[in-house]
Amino acid sequence: MKEQEVKCMHTCKNTCSMLNEALRKEAAIVRFYESMLDECNLPDVREFITDSIEEKRKGILRIIQKLNEIHARSQVIDGMISSFNNIDG
């Protein structure tokens, strides 16, 4: 994939399109590595692939955590804005 194929739209609300795309691609990589693992019978290669899968899963968890942070922050900001817009009390 070329670097230019994915562009940030800068209009995200409650989430991040770029991180969602990264999450999708990382999950696809994990599935690919898992399919490689199913076919491989060399212990040192299996260990390498297993380690790679674990590293990718950690990255996936970090992306999910960041997406959750973005969502929570957005909810707080929306709550603050709505409290200023509520002139009835």
Return the pLDDT at 43: 95
27-66: pLDDT as tens digits: 999 999 999 998 999 999 999 999 999 999 999 999 999 9
3-state helix, strand and coil shares in percent for the chain, rounded to the nearest 5: 80, 0, 20
As a whole number of angstroms, the distance between CA 73 and CA 20 comes to 17
pLDDT higher at 44 or 83? 44
Q: What is the pTM of this model?
A: 0.75
Return the pLDDT at 39: 92
Return the pLDDT at 28: 97
Residue carrying structure tokens 């491989």: 40
